[in-house]
Amino acid sequence: MNGKREVSRTVLITGASKGLGRALALELANRGHIIIGCSRAHDKLTSLQPHLSNTDNHFFLHADVKSNNSVEELARIVMEKKGVPDIIVNNAGTINKNNKIWEVPAEEFDTVIDTNLKGTANVLRHFIPLMITKKQGIIVNVSSGWGRSGAALVAPYCASKWAVEGLTRSVAKELPEGMAVVALNPGVINTDMLASCFGNSAALYQTPESWALKAATMILNLTAADNGASLTV
């Protein structure tokens, strides 16, 4: 089908224990690619591993993208065990409980920004220099339709994803030839995060598994020519 599916690539996915990250990990592994998955939820990572084809090829470890030190250690271990990833998917993310901005607790606002924006930046900080040594690499920063518009009651989330869009466009101008960073809006998917906003009506939207079929193909087809793009699955 797709020539690029013939070549096994190493893909690092943050937030791989549930939702989009988990579905993408399963789909890419099923296509013969090597998954490096990280998450704060160690038990969920452990339960994911047996579901992947060629279990021994993959590597899962605990990491908290909010912590620069944790991501620094992640990069060190990944290099030691698997080498430089071919593709990185900055997927780890969280959302605030529906609330007007003046009713969102400061701690909750900080968690959204620290995970969605600073977490993405932490991964870029420690992995881009490794990719530069190979003069190649694709980085996908998971954004949102709300990173290109706005919505009531989720202002912290919208702000974080607008920031991811701006961060991506700026970093694209800093990368050497042969590399690319893109912002990817996954679309509206029935995940725990969507349920927190939409309630029961989240079930009307596509599942992470059906989304991953399209997303995996799209991600595998990205090239250096896509650098700086804002894309939608």
Active-site residue list: 157
User: 112 by DSSP, 3-state: which?
Assistant: helix
Under 8 Å CB-to-CB from 34, ≥6 apart: which residues? 8, 9, 10, 11, 57, 58, 59, 82
Q: What is the spatial distance between Cα 46 and Cα 182, in angstroms, rounded to a whole number?
A: 29
Q: What is the spatial distance between Cα 115 and Cα 130, in angstroms, rounded to a whole number?
A: 22
β-bridge mates for residue 137, sequence order: 179
**Which pairs from 59-65 meet CB under 8 Å and 24+ separation?**
59/34, 59/35, 60/16, 60/35, 60/36, 61/36, 61/37, 62/38, 63/14, 63/38, 63/39, 64/40, 65/14, 65/15, 65/38, 65/90, 65/92, 65/115, 65/118, 65/119, 65/120, 65/122, 65/123
Q: What is the spatial distance between Cα 230 and Cα 227, in angstroms, rounded to a whole number?
A: 9
